[in-house]
Amino acid sequence: MDDLDRDAMLETFIHEMGILVDQLENVMLITNEMYDGNTINEIFRIMHTIKGSSSMMLFTSLTEITHATEDLFFFLRENNPENIDYPLITDIVLEVVDFIKIQLASLEEAKDLDMPYDELMEKIQNCLLDLKKENKINLEIDDNLKIENNSEIKNTKKINVSEIPRYRAIIYFQEGSEMENVRAFTVIHNLGTIATDISTIPENVLDEDSIWKIRTDGFKIEFNSDHDIEQVRNILLQSIYIKDLNLEQIFSYEEEYNNVFDVFVKFQEGCEMENIRAFTFISNLPKYVTVLSQEPENLLDENNARFIAENGFSVVLSTNISKEQLKEILMGTIYLDYLQINEKENNIYEDILNTYTEEDEIENKEEKSKSEDTSQKKDINLSLETEKIKKTTSHSINVNVTKLDQLLNLVGELVISEAMVTQNPELEGMELESFTKESRQLRKIIGEIQYTVMSMRMVPLGPTFFKMNRIVRDMCRQLKKDVNLKIIGDETEVDKNIIEHIADPLMHIIRNSIDHGIESPEERLSKNKPEQGTIILEAKNSGGDVLIIIKDDGAGFNKDKILKKAIANNLLSKPEDEYTEKEIFQFIFYPGFSTNETITSFSGRGVGMDVVNTNLEYVGGTVIADSIDGKGSSITLKIPLTLAIIDGMLIKIGDAKYTVPIMDIRRSLKISKKDIVFDPNGNEMVKIRGEVYNLIRLNTFFGLDIGYTDIEDGIVLMLENESQTVCLFADELVGEQQIVVKNIPKYIKKVHGLSGCTLLGNGDISLIINVAAFFDK
Amino acid sequence: MKEENTDLEQINEDRISALADTIENKFLIFKVGHENFGIEISIVHEIINIVPITQVPRTPNYLKGIINLRGDIVSIIDLRTRFMMEEVEYDDLTCIIVVEQEGEKIGIIVDEVFEVKYISKKNMSPPPSAKLVYSNKFVKTLGNTDDKVILLVDVKDLFYDE
């Protein structure tokens, strides 16, 4: 395989493994220390897929680790042991997950996979051993024998276990070793006394033609032997020049396949490299499923990729398991679009024959047609089933985010140019009936494109939320606390760019909650609280924003401690007693602020909450802390749905046009001079309906010598956030407009009070006012 | 012997520039006040006529604001204010030279743009040490051409305060 191929495959591999590992992690965390059959099956399936793909990519470490884990779950599944140390197994699987993640990360950086894994391997194996010991089930480590045992218990009717195990080995010789036929013969010779009933492919080993066959397809040998698999392996490996040995035990039931299935598979459009996927599909099949034939034959031929993409991939399998079981296994295939499993015709034919015997001929015909009916029905049922599969697997393709960003930018440009054309100053005063009509249509279409592009970028918060499960679990085990994380509204969607900035803040807040908030179980009991603490992670839509609320039922923030620390750090900007509770809690978001006397491995450095604040500021969000002493605390993150396109209100100051995001404006009104009051410091305030608000004159705020000074000439905008309201004085309102937010060039350092700029219909630039600047921190 | 060498070098240099049409050592000559300045042509993106500029509050006074250059937002600085010269009204000759600096486009308002000139290394010299005008601070090299002395500036100095 040349490098290019491998690169493409590696990329897909990393991507797919990433998805699988995340899935696995979630499964482990959701089941929370108790596995039912379904979970075990799912874990088993994921492990199996990872193992298959890794071995295809020749990543031994991954293959071995996942194989060992698979063994563990195989044991759980087959024996249903009663004494299981669930937390231990979860720990181990999570460790495996971490291991795989690290390996994937180093793959991504094109590093070698040289992380040692003996320790982990040993852990898994010991765990399996302990399990077996505790449940008094045969101590034989060899997993193959285990299968046999299980089969004996479960499938006694079907399987006659032969007393002497039969093995199948596929041997590849090193390139350039020459005379492969002779070497193969040596292998047979070496087996000599221990093996009986030997059959080989190619049959006549010493034939000159066999050289080529062995060189390309390997040397296949089957034999009976009463030695166990390791002994056999050692004997086989005595032969020189062996490059690769694939040894497995064949179970007698393999030869008595009860069921033969026709399986037809189609992969999702655009999943690429269909031939490789088909190959993975085959190599991922469990031991007890044997491939009888497949179409197309040579999967590694690239030309077949298109064939499979267009016509699908069909394979005849024989196995002892039922159709449902087979289906379940096959459904685990990634990028599966369409799966059809038909029992092979001869079985149906047999059924028909059976019905014949008891009926006479005329009825036979009817019966035949009936059975044809039923078989047709069967087909329909099957096709219904496949329909279902079709529905459950979504038609999605992976798109590079940069392409989406580019598309969004282009749509932004489109919105602007549309405005430039339809609001072109040259059109002013003209009677344009049809033009107006058509441009309205254009506006509508562009609006829909914009909406679609935006929705393409929307991602549910779920995966980010579920990652928190892991943090909660890890911390609980280390701090010996018991916390239940409840997730609400994980289907809430936000823009991809924003989600990237949410994960870290969430992590820090939850860490803080567990470390400082939630008390130890004993303390909780003494406070008349349930032993288990609860953290609720909730997301919901609220207007143009998404609110993420993290609530815990712990001790709450210590107001006095925070205030004391704030005074010590010189953070106060007004007299101490003027601070409201909420304002005091806000101090926890200051950089380097920590009330912890000791630094633990989780918190105390005062960095975490600062990260929350900076990240939130970056995406234009806000964060509010609240707490009830002894009852718990809550932190609310308010984040905008999207960064790029917002509804804006255009206002004028002199001849400069500024934009205020509409969602921040509560209302606008004219006020008269008599409503203006001044506080002792000379700050201007305005009285509206009996309430007094701070008045900010935009021209003085920005140091401009333009705009009205007489309050009665201009207009006042009331802006509000969660807790405060301020009034803004401007000359006039120009109108509402959808605006595409553009950054102010980096060269101009961040200007307080501005969040960006936008292009207006006539090509002019309007600066966007950052409303948050007017509110007290 | 030595002189011959430098002559040869000069000839070579001239020839290379003529033949390969390289942009090295080529400068865009413009006027601010009474002086002629030059900046390296390689960083010049384009030259446009003066357009209305959107003022950005709370910025240094030489930073005139931002303009919309075919969808790109470009910051604009005025060299007259930067050099602490008297401000004049923009006229038909006033131009904005758009240069690309560290991936970002920045416009420079100048009184007039003349031509692109090749100035060989040999004709460059450091300025006299006497610093009479504020604009001297930005001039690190003088370029001698047939008729005039060109003050060569490094745009980085123009954009960033030390």
**Closest to B54 (Cβ–Cβ): which among A749, A752, A764?**
A764
In a domain, A360, yes or no: yes
Distance CA A335, CA A268 (A): 5
Question: Which residues of chain A are within 8 Å of residue B52 when distances are taken between CB atoms?
Answer: 764
Question: Which residues of chain B are within 8 Å of residue A749 when distances are taken between CB atoms?
Answer: 59
CB distance A649 to A659 below 8 Å: yes
The predicted pLDDT at position A385 comes to 46
CB distance A20 to A93 below 8 Å: no
**Closest to A752 (Cβ–Cβ): which among B58, B66, B75?**
B58
Confidence of residue A442 (pLDDT cuts 50, 70, 90): very high
Q: How many residues does chain B have?
A: 162
The residue among A154, A185, A211 that closes a domain is: A154
The predicted pLDDT at position B107 comes to 95
Other beta carbons within 10 Å of A761: 17
Number of continuous H segments (helices) and E segments (strands) in chain A: 25, 26
- 8 Å CB contact of A765 and B68: yes
Q: Where are the beta strands (DSSP E) in A311-442?
A: 313-319, 336-343
The predicted pLDDT at position A717 comes to 93
Q: Tell whether the model's pLDDT for residue A556 goes beyond 70.
A: yes
Region of poorest pLDDT, from A383-387, B71-75, B130-134: A383-387
**Closest to A746 (Cβ–Cβ): which among B56, B67, B104?**
B104
Most A CBs within 10 Å: which of B73, B98, B161, as the mutation test of the A interface?
Answer: B73
Q: Which of the listed ranges A176-180, A284-288, A339-343 does the model predict with the highest average pLDDT?
A: A339-343
Look at the domain B2-159 and name its fold.
OB fold (Dihydrolipoamide Acetyltransferase, E2P) (2.40.50)
Q: Tell whether the model's pLDDT for residue A142 goes beyond 80.
A: no
Most A CBs within 10 Å: which of B45, B48, B51, B55, as the mutation test of the A interface?
Answer: B55
Region B147-158 average pLDDT = 85
**Stated pTM of the model:** 0.49
Region A605-630 average pLDDT = 77
Distance CA A339, CA A264 (A): 6
CATH of the domain at A486: 3.30.565.10
User: Could you tell me what percent of chain B has a pLDDT over 70?
Assistant: 80
Q: Which of the listed ranges A205-209, A383-387, A744-748 does the model predict with the highest average pLDDT?
A: A744-748
The predicted pLDDT at position A257 comes to 52
In angstroms, what separates the C-alpha of B91 from chain A's closest C-alpha? 20
Confidence of residue A349 (pLDDT cuts 50, 70, 90): very low
Q: Tell whether the model's pLDDT for residue A406 goes beyond 50.
A: yes
Q: Tell whether the model's pLDDT for residue A740 goes beyond 70.
A: yes
Region A751-765 average pLDDT = 82
The predicted pLDDT at position A119 comes to 81
Region A40-60 average pLDDT = 79
Phi and psi for A438 in degrees, rounded to 5?
-65, -40
Q: Tell whether the model's pLDDT for residue B47 goes beyond 90.
A: yes
In a domain, A698, yes or no: yes
- Say yes or no: A481 and A619 in one domain: yes
In angstroms, what separates the C-alpha of A573 from chain B's closest C-alpha? 23
Q: Tell whether the model's pLDDT for residue A152 goes beyond 70.
A: no
Region B89-101 average pLDDT = 92
In angstroms, what separates the C-alpha of B96 from chain A's closest C-alpha? 17
- Among A650, A663, A671, A673, which residue's Cα sits nearest to residue A732? A650
The overall longest dimension of chain A from CA atoms, in Å, is 113
The residue among A105, A121, A154 that closes a domain is: A154
- 8 Å CB contact of A765 and B54: yes
The predicted pLDDT at position A605 comes to 54
The predicted pLDDT at position B112 comes to 93
Region of poorest pLDDT, from A281-285, A671-675, A767-771: A281-285
- Say yes or no: A607 and A493 in one domain: yes
DSSP structure string for A682-746: --EEEEETTEEEEEEEHHHHTT-S-S--STTTSEEEEEE-SS-EEEEEESEEEEEEEEE-BPPPT
Distance CA B110, CA B116 (A): 15
- Say yes or no: A43 and A112 in one domain: yes
- Say yes or no: A624 and A765 in one domain: no
Confidence of residue A270 (pLDDT cuts 50, 70, 90): low
Question: Which residues of chain B are within 8 Å of residue A752 when distances are taken between CB atoms?
Answer: 58
Per-residue pLDDT tens for A29-38? 776 666 777 7
Q: Tell whether the model's pLDDT for residue A348 goes beyond 50.
A: no
Q: Tell whether the model's pLDDT for residue A539 goes beyond 80.
A: yes
Per-residue pLDDT tens for A636-653? 888 877 666 778 899 999
- Of all residues in chain B, the one with the smallest CA distance to A744 is B73
In a domain, A742, yes or no: yes
With b meaning 16 or more CB within 10 Å and e meaning fewer, what string describes B37-76? bbbbbebbeebeebeebbbbbebeebbbbbbbbeeebbbb
In angstroms, what separates the C-alpha of B58 from chain A's closest C-alpha? 6
The predicted pLDDT at position A731 comes to 92
Region A43-64 average pLDDT = 79
The predicted pLDDT at position B130 comes to 58
In a domain, A34, yes or no: yes
- Of all residues in chain A, the one with the smallest CA distance to B56 is A767
Bond from prior residue into A296 cis (ω within 30 degrees of 0): yes
- The two three-digit tokens of residue A324, written as one number: 């449902």
Region A293-319 average pLDDT = 74
- 8 Å CB contact of B57 and A704: yes
- 8 Å CB contact of B75 and A748: yes
Region of poorest pLDDT, from A181-195, A417-431, B55-69: A181-195
- Say yes or no: A83 and A98 in one domain: yes
Return residues 87-146 of B near A (CB < 8 Å).
101, 104-106
Tally the domains of chain A: 5
Region of poorest pLDDT, from A176-180, A217-221, A228-232, A240-244: A176-180
Q: Tell whether the model's pLDDT for residue B64 goes beyond 80.
A: yes
Instruction: Write down the ipTM of this complex.
Output: 0.81
Confidence of residue A366 (pLDDT cuts 50, 70, 90): very low
The predicted pLDDT at position A287 comes to 66
CB distance B75 to A745 below 8 Å: yes
Phi and psi for A76 in degrees, rounded to 5?
-60, -45
The residue among A580, A611, A640 that closes a domain is: A640
- 8 Å CB contact of A751 and B104: no
**Closest to A751 (Cβ–Cβ): which among B58, B71, B74?**
B58
- 8 Å CB contact of A703 and B68: no
Which is higher by pLDDT, B157 or B129? B157
Q: Tell whether the model's pLDDT for residue A306 goes beyond 60.
A: yes
- Among A112, A82, A115, which residue's Cα sits nearest to residue A96? A115
The predicted pLDDT at position A651 comes to 94
The predicted pLDDT at position A521 comes to 84
Find the helix or strand (DSSP H, E) in which A37 lies. Answer: helix A37-56
Region A438-458 average pLDDT = 86
Which residues, including other chains, have CB under 8 Å from residue B130's CB and lie 6 or more apart? none
The predicted pLDDT at position A378 comes to 47
In a domain, A216, yes or no: no
Other beta carbons within 10 Å of A207: 11
Question: Which residues of chain A are within 8 Å of residue B56 when distances are taken between CB atoms?
Answer: 744, 748, 751, 754, 767
Region A575-592 average pLDDT = 77
User: Could you tell me what percent of chain A has a pLDDT over 90?
Assistant: 5
In a domain, A190, yes or no: no
Distance CA A709, CA A715 (A): 11
CATH of the domain at A35: 1.20.120.160
- Parent domain of A680: 645-774
- 8 Å CB contact of B106 and A656: no
Region of poorest pLDDT, from A280-289, A503-512, A728-737: A280-289
- Say yes or no: A420 and A488 in one domain: no
Confidence of residue B31 (pLDDT cuts 50, 70, 90): very high
The predicted pLDDT at position A777 comes to 52
Return residues 673-702 of A near B (CB < 8 Å).
702
- Say yes or no: A621 and A482 in one domain: yes
The predicted pLDDT at position A136 comes to 61
Region A505-513 average pLDDT = 85
Confidence of residue A419 (pLDDT cuts 50, 70, 90): confident
Could you tell me the end-to-end alpha-carbon distance of chain B, in angstroms, rounded to an integer? 43
The predicted pLDDT at position A543 comes to 66
The predicted pLDDT at position A679 comes to 85
- Say yes or no: A104 and A19 in one domain: yes
- Say yes or no: A419 and A488 in one domain: no
The predicted pLDDT at position A362 comes to 45
Helices (H), B92-161: 155-159
| Average pLDDT of chain A, as a whole number | 76
